[in-house]
């Protein structure tokens, strides 16, 4: 208590000194000054400000000395993490004395209940499932699935990160007791945006939440984290899928994520007889995906204020890296209501097939997914296939059995074919901010990636009329055209 009194006295002295200084300046400004006096004042003001800055620094040093000299034994329960979330979203400028926020440099208190075991006794990594929740009580459907299919509580701890502060949702999560860990995003402050961006405010809060939760989780020391949204159901082999594929992320630097989602995973365009089939894709699928601590270290220092999923698809972030995705999705969304207001839900998402089979991926040789192996086999295979038209495919006029290829040569042709096939035809154009500033206002531009959903080297693979079909550009393909977005 003695140190606190001394601190109050010191601070009160400097406050009083500041008021006296301003009072004198105000009195001086009301009198008629000569030109010479005005020039002297102009020279003195910067010096006075500099001295004031020195005084403030001296105050801080004095307070730190008093804290050391007279330590306070009382413990505080106030979390010291709200400024971290604010800095992630760039809502306030980071003070010069505060280091850049990264998983390594964050000096904040970690919720004690998060499991700290990062590797099992046999050396296998612990892979936490990080579930993002807000104000949907239906998160229990997602959690029921995860708890039901989880093979090991120790290897796959479930961490639910809640934003929004919704009491009913929190109570629903807490009904799972020790089967999971609940952490709460501490910065629930409003986010100031331009008037025309108000309808996007939810995306700003989501991005802030993701940044905080991933920092909080990765700082424990985990090598991998699997991200799950609160409106996802998972397949029986969801955990097995990630357990078998996490090694690929370490072996192949051209891989940067493993996703459980197939954007073109509607039941009528997937091969239900091949639940074991996996692909490489240039498009970032999301919706149940795994990343490494190295990737988060790279992304966290430039994490965007909004639309993180579209931002991550941009060439500047992707850097020609790819994801693994399944033939049949290991997740399916039931969340028609959300910040996207059910975008694509009725037309596409509700028709996505969720795998019902349990594939023992850990017993399958997945080395065919490594870049050198995959490119050699897959690209050669596609461009020697018979070339057919959509009409021939639709009317089942192809005499030969087996896979075929349909060629597209421009954007309009691609979109026309995909629409006729019932595939997703968009290239993910959305708004995002650019540049860094010290205010909460942002500049919006179109975000372009030019990558069709599920594409690899421009090739979109699907199943139609009981045969494998590859919608592919010509063999002289030179890369994605950003103008297609």
Question: Which structure tokens are listed for 141?
Answer: 């459907």
Closest CA to 320 of 410, 449, 433, 425: 449
pTM (predicted TM-score): 0.75
Question: Mind listing the pLDDT tens digit for each residue in 273-303?
Answer: 999 999 999 999 999 999 999 999 999 999 9
Mean pLDDT of the chain: 81
Catalytic annotation on 230? no
Question: Mind listing the pLDDT tens digit for each residue in 408-450?
Answer: 999 999 999 999 999 988 765 444 443 333 333 333 333 457 8
The SS3 assignment for 302 reads coil
Q: What is the DSSP letter of 434?
A: E
Give the model's pLDDT for residue 102. 43
Q: At what angle do helices 201-218 and 293-300 cross, to 10 degrees?
A: 130
User: Is pLDDT at 168 greater than 80 in this prediction?
Assistant: yes
- Residue 3: partners with Cβ closer than 8 Å, 6 or more residues away: 66, 67, 69, 70, 71, 72
Question: Mind listing the pLDDT tens digit for each residue in 15-53?
Answer: 666 655 555 454 544 444 455 555 555 555 556 555 655
- Residue 105: partners with Cβ closer than 8 Å, 6 or more residues away: 99
Closest CA to 432 of 424, 423, 422, 442: 442
> Is the distance from CB of 374 to CB of 280 less than 8 angstroms?
yes
The SS3 assignment for 463 reads strand
Give the model's pLDDT for residue 350. 87
Give the model's pLDDT for residue 80. 28
User: In angstroms, what CA-CA distances link 435 with 8, 332, 406, 438, 445?
Assistant: 41, 35, 41, 10, 11
User: Is pLDDT at 222 greater than 90 in this prediction?
Assistant: yes
- Residue 168: partners with Cβ closer than 8 Å, 6 or more residues away: 135, 137
Query: What is the spatial order of strands in the sheet that 289-292 belongs to?
Result: 181-184, 158-162, 129-133, 224-229, 289-292, 255-259, 322-326, 278-281
Closest CA to 307 of 151, 203, 167: 203
Which listed residue (309, 425, 426, 481) is catalytic? 309
User: Is pLDDT at 190 greater than 50 in this prediction?
Assistant: yes
Task: Report the distance separating Cα 374 and Cα 355, nearest Å.
Answer: 24
């Amino acid at each position: 208590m003695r140190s606190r009194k001394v601190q109050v006295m010191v601070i009160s002295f400097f406050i009083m000194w500041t008021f006296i200084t301003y009072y004198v300046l105000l009195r001086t400004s009301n009198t008629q000054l000569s030109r010479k006096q005005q020039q002297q004042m102009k020279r003195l003001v910067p010096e006075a400000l500099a001295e004031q800055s020195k005084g403030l620094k001296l105050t801080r040093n004095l307070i730190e000395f008093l804290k050391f000299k007279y330590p306070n034994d009382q413990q505080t329960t106030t979390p010291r993490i709200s400024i971290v979330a604010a800095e992630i979203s760039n809502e306030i400028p980071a003070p010069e004395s505060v280091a850049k926020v990264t998983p390594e440099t964050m000096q904040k208190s970690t919720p004690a209940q998060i499991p700290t075991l990062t590797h099992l006794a046999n050396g296998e990594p612990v892979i936490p499932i990080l579930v993002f929740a807000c104000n949907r009580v239906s998160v229990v459907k997602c959690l029921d699935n995860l708890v039901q299919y989880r093979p090991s509580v120790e290897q796959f701890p479930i961490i639910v990160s809640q934003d929004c502060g919704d009491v009913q949702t929190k109570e629903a999560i807490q009904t799972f007791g020790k089967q999971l860990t609940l952490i709460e995003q501490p910065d629930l402050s409003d986010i100031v945006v331009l008037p025309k961006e108000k309808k996007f405010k939810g995306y700003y809060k989501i991005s802030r939440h993701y940044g905080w939760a991933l920092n909080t989780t990765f700082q424990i020391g985990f090598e991998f984290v699997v991200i799950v949204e609160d409106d996802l159901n998972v397949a029986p082999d969801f955990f097995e899928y990630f357990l078998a594929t996490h090694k690929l992320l370490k072996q192949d630097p051209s891989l940067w994520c493993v996703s459980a989602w197939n954007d073109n995973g509607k039941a009528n365009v997937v091969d239900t007889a091949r639940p074991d089939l996996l692909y490489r894709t240039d498009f970032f699928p999301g919706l149940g995906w795994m990343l490494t601590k190295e990737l988060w270290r790279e992304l966290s220092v430039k994490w965007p204020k909004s639309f993180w999923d579209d931002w991550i698809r941009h060439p500047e972030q992707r850097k020609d890296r790819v994801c693994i995705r399944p033939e049949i999705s290991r997740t399916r969304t039931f969340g028609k209501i959300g910040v996207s207001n059910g975008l694509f839900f009725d037309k596409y998402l509700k028709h996505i097939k969720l795998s019902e089979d349990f594939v023992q991926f850990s017993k399958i040789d997945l080395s065919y997914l490594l870049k050198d192996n995959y490119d050699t086999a897959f690209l050669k295979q596609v461009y020697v296939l018979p070339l057919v038209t959509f009409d021939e495919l639709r009317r089942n006029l192809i005499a030969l059995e087996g896979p075929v290829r349909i060629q597209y040569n421009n954007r309009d042709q691609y979109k026309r074919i995909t629409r006729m096939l019932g595939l997703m035809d968009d290239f993910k154009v959305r708004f995002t901010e650019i540049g860094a500033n010290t205010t909460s206002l942002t500049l919006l531009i179109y975000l372009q990636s030019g990558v069709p959903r599920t594409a690899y080297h421009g090739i979109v693979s699907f199943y139609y009329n009981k045969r494998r079909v590859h919608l592919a550009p010509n063999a002289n393909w030179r890369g994605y055209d950003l103008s297609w977005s």
